[in-house]
Amino acid sequence: MLHCFMADPFTISFLMKMITDRVDMMLTRGLTLERVTASQGRVLAYLMSRDGENVSQRDIERHLGVSHTTAKGIVQRLEQKGWVTTAFDSEDGRLKNVYLTDMSRGVHEAICQQIGVIENTLLDGVPEESRSMLRDLLRRMYDNLK
């Protein structure tokens, strides 16, 4: 169905992909000094949001919507850089928990600041009621794909 793109080459899925790629690029560039990629920054932000809780590698997979192999690779690279440590869960030895290090806690502000800059750039000129509607629509679209 080649003709489906003739009416409008900027389909919603194409625009979402382009936005995601640009956001990843901005996040990675903004975290260059910390030696953290966009994916690694998202994992660190997720761990920081659940600080003090046991967070397994499986939780990270679910939160990011990535495969076991992808999550494992991200966590291994974060561990190699000293941003996280891992240990098998004391109650369920099949689960590997991921913990922030003191070094990663120090980068929390940089990650939050960069995410804030990107969000502000994305939503510049978009009224608050439209932002809320957009968030609802995106959540609905995400749920449709589950």
The domain of 34 spans: 2-144
pTM > 0.85:
no
Say how far apart CA 66 and CA 110 lie, in whole Å.
24
69 has a pLDDT exceeding 70: yes
Instruction: Tell me the pLDDT tens digit for each residue of 42-60.
Output: 899 899 999 889 999 999 9
Say how far apart CA 24 and CA 37 lie, in whole Å.
8
Q: Per DSSP, what are the bridge partners of residue 97?
A: 56, 87
Given a contact cutoff of 8 angstroms between Cβ atoms, the answer to whether 89 and 81 are in contact is: no
The structural domain count of the chain equals: 1
Give the position of tokens 């809320």: 132
Give the highest mean pLDDT range of 2-11, 27-36, 80-89: 80-89
Instruction: Tell me the pLDDT tens digit for each residue of 72-105.
Output: 999 999 999 999 999 998 888 899 999 999 888 8
Q: Per DSSP, what are the bridge partners of residue 100?
A: 84
Percent of the chain with pLDDT over 70: 95
Closest CA to 121 of 49, 18, 12, 19: 19
1 has a pLDDT exceeding 50: no
Query: 29: domain CATH number?
Result: 1.10.10.10
